Amino acid sequence: MRALKLSEDVRPLSDLEARPTEIVEQVRATGRPVVITREGRGVAVMLSIQAFEELQDSAETGELQRAVEDAERDITEGRWVEHSEVLAKLERWSAGEA
């Protein structure tokens, strides 16, 4: 996603109400988000589909990275289970045992 240009990419809600196609075209043409304001305060951001998908991918990557870091910390602190024990628990679970 391209960086926001405050001089061009901050628009009042009245612009969105009066000229929605213009704002959508601005987002598409520039690749930058547009911040929608009401009474001088930001209330929404309009993004291209590509930028939105990139944000989702980044969030998923961040979640995976945190999970890996948590797992590494657990291993370092001795919180882990042998593979054979996990398999035995899964077999009991799939057989309906507690």
Q: Is the pLDDT of residue 79 over 80?
A: yes
Euclidean distance between CA atoms 95 and 6, whole angstroms: 61
Six token digits for residue 81: 């289970």
What pLDDT shows up at residue 9?
A: 95
Which whole number is the average pLDDT over 57-71?
87
Instruction: Tell me the pLDDT tens digit for each residue of 5-57.
Output: 988 999 999 999 999 999 999 999 999 999 999 999 999 999 999 999 998 98
Is pTM beyond 0.75? Reply is no
Domains and CATH numbers, the chain: 6-47 (3.40.1620.10), 51-94 (no CATH)
Q: Is the pLDDT of residue 2 over 90?
A: no
Euclidean distance between CA atoms 38 and 11, whole angstroms: 9
